[in-house]
Amino acid sequence: MTDGVNWLTAEEQHAWRSFVRLHERLIGRLSHLLQTESQLASADYAVLVNLTDVPDGRQRYQDLARALEWEKSRMSHHLARMIRRGLVVREECADDGRGAFAVITEAGREAIAAAAPLHVQAVRSLFLDHLTAAELRTLAEVSVRVVGKLDEGA
């Protein structure tokens, strides 16, 4: 390494590129499918899933943001768009004058009910179906470990 840089080996480069390509394709296909078949982007889907898992389909902006690991600004922008589309409504918070709740609407419930089976089916047919159980386990382990390292600031 005359230039002092520990360049990637052919295997490393291949693995890295394949991994990145996999994700781009997979997510691309999945979100395109979701969008065209159910008019929901994956971000909408994530928000709606969260809201259906919570009493009254009602959750504070900040809690939603924490749950999805989104920036509050992103949440604010995105909920504004979802409100415009009638998927959720905003409710003021009595306890805290600054706060707000997002509440899923009937239209939101219908949208997620229609989208969820599609989504699950797509995750299976585009991804899970092509992995062995052992591979899936390895993948999960690796993912958890690396995310852990990233969170430690690695």
Compute how many residues bind a second copy; rule: CB under 8 A. Answer: 51
Beta carbons of 41 and 31 less than 8 angstroms apart = yes
Please select the residue that binds a second copy; options are 21, 32, 72, 74, rule is CB under 8 A. Answer: 21
Beta carbons of 51 and 88 less than 8 angstroms apart = yes
If you search the block for the tokens 């909920």, which residue do you land on? 79
32 forms part of the interface with a second copy (CB under 8 A): no
If you search the block for the tokens 């295997």, which residue do you land on? 11
Closer to a second copy at the Cβ: 8 or 107?
8
Query: Can you give the binding site for a second copy, defined by CB under 8 A?
Result: 3-8, 11-12, 14-16, 18-27, 29, 69, 116-117, 120-121, 123-128, 130-131, 135-147, 149-150, 154
